[in-house]
Amino acid sequence: IVSLLSDLTARNPDSRELLSGLLHYADVRGVQFIAPMPDLNMFKASAAYANFARAKQLSGCSFIGADLRHAHFAYADLGKSHFVTADLTDATLQGADLRGANLCLANLSGTELFDAKYDDDTEWPRGFSPPTDKWTGDSAEPTDNGRV
């Protein structure tokens, strides 16, 4: 049913609010999301093995407390999204746009971040060192500004 709702949002952007409200605590394990869904709210959703790569536009989404183990976000726009306390163990964020995203207290064990873009406003879990190859911030390289 989530796949059908995802397809509906591709055809009718006004239905996004309906879908977002239905996904609090939702069990969407393994679902493939195919439509752009900015500002989606998946608070504490169970989305292990879900595929968000085709949705592409996920900026401003809330994945707070969500189970996103092995989820696939390759090349998705996740700018200004919130992953606070989310479990991203072994998730794929390859090439994702994480500029302005909040990943504080997220579990990033085994998370694939190759080619992911981030900036000064991206907040990482304390002690986590993101890869430096796709830094897009204002300074020459990432610094420990209290966000890493």
pLDDT by residue for the chain (148 residues), tens only, comes to 455 455 555 555 555 555 556 688 889 899 888 878 888 889 999 999 999 988 888 999 999 999 999 999 999 999 999 999 999 999 999 999 999 999 999 999 999 999 999 999 999 999 998 887 655 655 555 554 434 3
Q: What is the pLDDT of residue 67?
A: 98
Per the rule left: phi > 0, alpha: psi between -120 and 50, beta: everything else, 70 is left
Query: 29: how many CB neighbours lie within 10 A of its CB?
Result: 15
The reported pLDDT for the residue numbered 143 is 52
- From 67, 61, 69, 75, select the one nearest 114 (Cα to Cα): 75
